[in-house]
Structure 1
Amino acid sequence: MTDLGQITVLGQITVLGWTDFFADQVTADEAHLIPCRIAQVHRARLSGLSSAGPVRLNLPVHANTGEYAVGDWVLAEPETHDLRRRLDRRTLLQRPVEGQFLPQLAAANVDTLFIVTSCNADFNPARLERYLAMANEAGTTPVMVLTKADTVTDDRDYAGEAAALQRDLAIVTVNARSPDAAAALMPWCQAGQTVALAGSSGVGKSTLVNTLSGAEQLTGGVREQDTKGRHTTTARSLHAIPGGGWIIDTPGIRNLHVGNFAAGLDTLFAEITELAPLCKFSNCSHDHEPGCAVRAAVATGNLDADRLVRWRKLSEENVSNTPVQTGPRGNRTTQRPNRR
């Protein structure tokens, strides 16, 4: 990993992931401002990277760091580094948080999300589907990374079960500590590309960051009783990958709730999404209605019954956690999600 303090000259801003999508947002009045990419979000300040190196960004009065995510692009004054505005995001990984109205921002402008799970008791299809829904909704490309393959005799069962979770899902099986892991994941870590890692605590995310970036972070062993790692990442940060890519590590998520993920769920459960228009009723819940094409597919063995059960659970949770627009047109208000 290239430490932020060691970066002195990054050269072309495109190395940081700057593209025409962001350049087209800069107005003539803002031409004197410098683009900076958020590298770390602290409680009261932001650290960023510009084409000249690391910068400490000064927030506007009354600004909240919670409004920014690692990976965001912002415009700042060249001399004072006063932050003027955040540019629109190309992708945004976020998740609803129990008891909070606004979602928690995980990472912005990510090209690929490595969903990391291990070949042991951590492998949980229902939980992995939640990560896939989040990635789909964000607009990132999900890649399933199976770690600790060296601890099992045959990892093909895990790979096959992972591949069945979503169409055309890329599956990569690695030993996170092996240099071969970096080579296996390099197609998604090219110059200017940004990847993020998500998954439960103790599945080897920090070890993968170390392997990809070439440095050491705080990692720990595995508890024998539950195969969980002892030490985990507690903050989000942007790290350089040799060859020009960037990686964002994220803390382990104990409970990933689904909310405002309708499009992400449609992609995840494409086989159900495509059958739904064939149902007798347009608002079919695929539970008890006559003429349901989805349940008919389950009956004939063309659709996995467990997938339908998990689709129903996630869909109901998504509705429960999604804010609703109410009121007359032109005077609508957002109603808090009706969590059960």
Structure 2
Amino acid sequence: MNNNAPSATVTLPGLGWAPFYEEQLTPEDEEYDALRISSVHRSRMKGESTHGPVRISLPAHINTSHFAVGDWVLAQPQSHLLVRRLERRSLLERQTVGARNPQLIAANVDTVFVVTSCNDDFNPARLERYLALANEAGTRAVIVLTKADQVADPAPYEAQAAALQRELEVVTINARSLDAVAALAPWCGTGQTVALIGSSGVGKSTLLNTLARKSDEAKQATGAIREDDAKGRHTTTARSLHRIAGGGWVIDTPGMRTLHVSDVSSGLEALFAEITELAPNCRFRDCTHLHEPGCAVQAAVAAGTLDAARLERWRKLHEENQQNTPTVTGARGNKKSGPRGKFR
């Protein structure tokens, strides 16, 4: 919650509750309270209730890694003892090198703000990875360009960002200005939830402080980017849920400079829709769009209607996704999941 003042009473719909969650309740659940997880740590979790923040009591041997900020859970009144988690409407997750299970980023998000800055941190290939992640989760993605006040003309950045995906919305802001609140208001209304993802130093924490109108004492720590390479320092170290101006909620996340793609086939299809639509016209069903005769995708590159660099980025992500996505093997009834190959 906004720490500028004591927490005010909020309705369940104001917390993001929707019919999707209501339909999961049984008559036996009427005695429990619905809480929304606001922070997850190794051995503890906090949540938001209609009366403000609470400390969630955990049953013995609970694995908090199975919960994400933004999750809805049922808990006993008074003690706030966790009973069960409700099914998610959306889930942002990523695979990390060496980990057996994906890392949960945020749950039940309506919109993902992919935050990047108008400087050398702007990287189309990295942005495409974030977009694939958001697409796979079934959330709307919006590119938020920060530090617009520090460049003579942000138009080139806007054009490059808008070209990354069809009908992609791009908003250019100064994250320190209250004008950013109005610019992002369409996605921050009552009960709506947005997640901030992007590299370190692009202005995510600054934007959170502006959206939540936090006092100086409650502000998230922010850090400048290095002038020599435009790379930022990690300032947010944990995911957390915050109430923002307009009645919405924002989930702040640590910077993710390295993002491996895994199990995001649908997300890549949406991201590279122009390639997805051309592929059925290729002579061979398993065309790699690299050297096969009768390749409709290569024909589009030759005709100048498809950017060769865009195709190359698709190929890299497609191959990485195939390599990293676990496959199901084994006899019927004894299936096992395993990675196709090592993570890059």
TM-score range relative to shorter protein: over 0.9
> In the alignment, residue 295 of structure 1 is paired with which amino acid?
Q
Task: Select which of 322, 326, 335 maps to 1:323.
Answer: 326
Shift of the alpha carbon at 1:8? Answer: 4.6
Following the alignment from structure 1 to structure 2, what is the Cα–Cα distance between the partners of residues 276 and 222? 41
The equivalent of 2:272 in structure 1 is 269
Matched, 1:310 2:313: yes
Shift of the alpha carbon at 1:224? Answer: 2.1
- Identical columns (%): 61
The equivalent of 1:9 in structure 2 is 9
Residues 1:248 and 1:225: Cα distance change in structure 2 (over 3 Å): same
**Contact 2:38–2:241 (CA under 8 A) maintained in structure 1:** yes
Q: Which shifted more, 207-216 or 321-330?
A: 321-330
The equivalent of 1:253 in structure 2 is 256
Shift of the alpha carbon at 1:266? Answer: 0.2
Following the alignment from structure 1 to structure 2, what is the Cα–Cα distance between the partners of residues 319 and 4? 47
Which structure 1 residue ranges, 5 or more long, are not aligned?
none
**Contact 1:4–1:54 (CA under 8 A) maintained in structure 2:** no
The equivalent of 2:47 in structure 1 is 48
**Contact 2:113–2:196 (CA under 8 A) maintained in structure 1:** yes
Once the two structures are superposed, the pairs formed by residues 225-236 of structure 1 within 5 Å of their partners are 225-230=228-233, 232-236=235-239
Matched, 1:201 2:204: no
Shift of the alpha carbon at 1:230? Answer: 4.1
3-state DSSP of counterpart to 2:31: coil
When normalised by structure 2's length, the TM-score is: 0.96
Following the alignment from structure 1 to structure 2, what is the Cα–Cα distance between the partners of residues 106 and 231? 16
Deviation string, structure 1 residues 152-198 (Cα, Å, up to 9, x no partner): 11111110000110000000001111111111001100000000100
Which structure 2 residue ranges, 5 or more long, are not aligned?
none
**Contact 2:143–2:170 (CA under 8 A) maintained in structure 1:** yes
Following the alignment from structure 1 to structure 2, what is the Cα–Cα distance between the partners of residues 97 and 227? 24
The equivalent of 1:287 in structure 2 is 290
Deviation string, structure 1 residues 214-236 (Cα, Å, up to 9, x no partner): 01221123322223344521111
> In the alignment, residue 33 of structure 1 is paired with which amino acid?
Y
Following the alignment from structure 1 to structure 2, what is the Cα–Cα distance between the partners of residues 103 and 91? 15
The equivalent of 1:22 in structure 2 is 21
Shift of the alpha carbon at 1:337? Answer: 4.2
Aligned-CA RMSD value: 1.4
Following the alignment from structure 2 to structure 1, what is the Cα–Cα distance between the partners of residues 264 and 134? 10
Deviation string, structure 1 residues 20-66 (Cα, Å, up to 9, x no partner): 00010011111111100000111201000111221111122211111
The equivalent of 2:132 in structure 1 is 133
Deviation string, structure 1 residues 258-291 (Cα, Å, up to 9, x no partner): 0000000000000000000000111111111111
The equivalent of 1:164 in structure 2 is 163
Shift of the alpha carbon at 1:339? Answer: 1.4
| Aligned pairs, number | 339
3-state DSSP of counterpart to 1:40: strand
> In the alignment, residue 186 of structure 1 is paired with which amino acid?
A
Shift of the alpha carbon at 1:314? Answer: 0.3
3-state DSSP of counterpart to 2:290: coil
The equivalent of 2:57 in structure 1 is 58
Following the alignment from structure 2 to structure 1, what is the Cα–Cα distance between the partners of residues 208 and 169? 19
> In the alignment, residue 7 of structure 2 is paired with which amino acid?
I
Once the two structures are superposed, the pairs formed by residues 148-227 of structure 1 within 5 Å of their partners are 148-215=147-214, 216-227=219-230
> In the alignment, residue 105 of structure 2 is paired with which amino acid?
A
